[in-house]
Amino acid sequence: MTTNKFYNAIFAAGITLILACLMIGVKLDTSGTQLAVKGATTAQWTWIGGGIAIVFLSQLFTNQIDALFRMIPKPSISTMLPEEKKMATLKPWLIAGAIVIMVIWPFMVSRGSVDLATLTLIYIMLGLGLNIVVGLAGLLDLGFVAFYAVGAYTYALLSQYFGLSFWVCLPISAGMAALFGFVLGFPVLRLRGDYLAIVTLGFGEIIRILLNNWTEVTGGPSGISGIAKPTLFGLEFTRKAKGGEDAMTFHEYFNLDYSSSYKVIFLYLIAILLVCFVIYVINRLMRMPIGRAWEALREDEIACRSLGLNRTAIKLSAFTLGASTAGFAGAFFSARQGFISPESFIFIESAIILAIVVLGGMGSQYGIILAAIVMTILPELAREFSEYRMLLFGLLMVLMMRWRPDGLIPTKRPHLELKQQ
């Protein structure tokens, strides 16, 4: 058995060497007129050597490594938090505390951090939205970014052509994305899981290609710029009011000196508001009949049908609500950026959102918030590795599926009090 393992390890190391040699060991050189190849630098060879050693050792000790991964305790919310009863009284205080901290925090840190936090909040919204579809209803949607795009373009176009304000457009964008979700979902939700994944992926690409080519309306690849920022009851956050004669800016109204960080903080606070709203709604949904039906459908579709549940209606509701959350996030995204183009809505974006859901543990809200934070902040902290960002995301998805398909924080089932009769 041990010798067998040893041969296995040598074999794996050999394969790694072959795989690495022609990809990392040799590099296509396009600098000259003719295509040429050049060998890798010593440093790269060291990396290859290191990689081979890792593969060799990990093959040799697979059992031990598997055991090690299994030993990493699964954080269970129920053991980390106080008892159910205490929790019930503590919870409102904890939530209030968290909100207060989140509101005060931006006034004490740099503009950049606030901006990054806003971006993270967008990803939290997207993750929570996709979680309805993938985590709860078990429908793999690889074209989620399409609904994000629909929301973003809805606001951008309405603001551009009709001058509608952000607050008016927000529900419209969500509704528009929901409509797209409904129209796509109606025919395709009958498909089996993996087909659905490919069809939604195709749909995402179609939306992107259309945005890219419908130049008269969407501006094509150059996108739409100068999208209006949200206002606070009509107060703008620009240096000078643009909205006509009696329009005022925020700093004029409150007699403050103009500072661009008001705008950043204001956007951050809107994002907090939106995220809290989304969390509240989804939290309620999960405890409502429809939320239970989503999960039941994920667990066993045939059993659902045999109990009189209309699977198409249930799937459609998950798909549509997920899409509307993306539309919500999209509208906010275009308001924050002030500029959107099809470039922001490529497949990679869908993959990142999916990675957030997967990492967060499909179905768990806490997990998704944590994952969104990790996934947006880590790449910013390690900017020199930004090239490796997607590489690591991909690797993480593979590893997570192998060792922790339930995610970092597995879902805890709600405990229902029974009235004893």
Partner 1 sequence: MSQLLLDVNGLTMRFGGLVAVNGVNLKVKNRQIVSVIGPNGAGKTTVFNCLSGFYIPTEGSVMLKNKQIAGLKDYQISRKGLVRTFQHVRLFQKMTVIENMLVAQHRHLNTNLISGLFKTPNYRRLEQEAMDHAVHWLKEVDLLEFANREAGNLSYGQQRRLEIARCMVTQPELLMLDEPAAGLNPNETKQLDELIIKLRDEHEISILLIEHDMSLVMGISDHIYVIAQGTPLANGTADEIKNNPDVIKAYLGEE
Partner 2 sequence: MSEFSLYLLQQLINGLTIGSTYALIAIGYTMVYGIIGMINFAHGEIYMIGSYITFIVIAGLMSMGIVSLPIILIIALVVAMFMASTYGWAVERVAYRPLRGTNRLIPLISAIGMSIFLQNAVGISQGFRDVALPPMVTGGWALGNPADFEVTISYMQVIIFAVTFVTMTLLTLFISKSRMGRACRACAEDLGMTNLLGINTNKVIALTFIIGAALAAIAGLLLGLYYGVVNPFVGFIAGLKAFTAAVLGGIGSIPGAVLGGLILGVTEAMTAAFFPSEYKDVVAFGLLITILLFRPSGLLGKPEIEKV
CB within 8 A of 358, min separation 6: which ones? 397, 400, 401, 407
- Report the alpha-carbon distance of residue 421 to residue 48 in Å, rounded: 68
Q: Which of 30, 79, 255, 421 binds partner 2 (CB under 8 A)?
A: 30
| Token representation of residue 73 | 């305790």
Residues 269 and 237: their CA atoms lie apart, in Å, by 14
Which residue from 284, 338, 394, 399 is in contact with partner 1, where contact means CB under 8 A?
A: 284
Which member of 12, 235, 281, 377 binds partner 1 (CB under 8 A)?
A: 281
Burial 346-376 (b: 16+ CB within 10 A, else e): eeebbbbbbbbbbbbbbbbbebbbbbbbbbb
Site string for partner 1, 301-320 (x = CB under 8 A): -xxxxxxxxxx---------
- Supply the minimum distance, in Å, between the C-beta of residue 414 and partner 1: 8
Closest CB to partner 1 among residues 251, 311: 311
Beta pairing partners, 236:
249
Which of 147, 268 has the CB closer to partner 2?
147
Q: With binding defined as CB under 8 A, does residue 209 bind partner 2? A: yes
Q: Which stretch binds partner 2 (CB under 8 A): 148-156, 174-182, 207-215, 242-250?
A: 207-215
Angle at 289 between CA 285 and CA 295, to 5 degrees: 75
Contacted by 53, from partner 2, partner 1, none: CB < 5 to 8 Å by type = none
206 lies in the binding site for partner 2 (CB under 8 A): yes
Task: Name the minimum Å distance from CB 316 to partner 1.
Answer: 13
Cross-strand bridge partners of residue 29: 36
* 415 forms part of the interface with partner 1 (CB under 8 A): yes
Residues 376-405 that bind partner 2 (CB under 8 A): 387-388, 390-391, 393-398, 400-402, 405
Among 120, 173, 212, 249, the residue binding partner 2 under the rule CB under 8 A is: 212
Q: Is the CB of 57 or the CB of 391 nearer to partner 2? A: 391
**Judged by CB under 8 A, which of 121, 176, 201, 224 binds partner 2?**
201
Among 198, 211, 202, residue whose Cα is nearest residue 152: 211
Residues that bind partner 1 (CB under 8 A): 281, 284-285, 288-290, 292-293, 295-296, 299-300, 302-311, 413-416, 418-419, 421
Residues that bind partner 2 (CB under 8 A): 15, 18-19, 22-24, 26-30, 34-37, 134, 138, 140, 142, 187-188, 190-195, 197-199, 201-203, 205-206, 209-210, 212-213, 302, 347-348, 351, 354-355, 358, 387-388, 390-391, 393-398, 400-402, 405
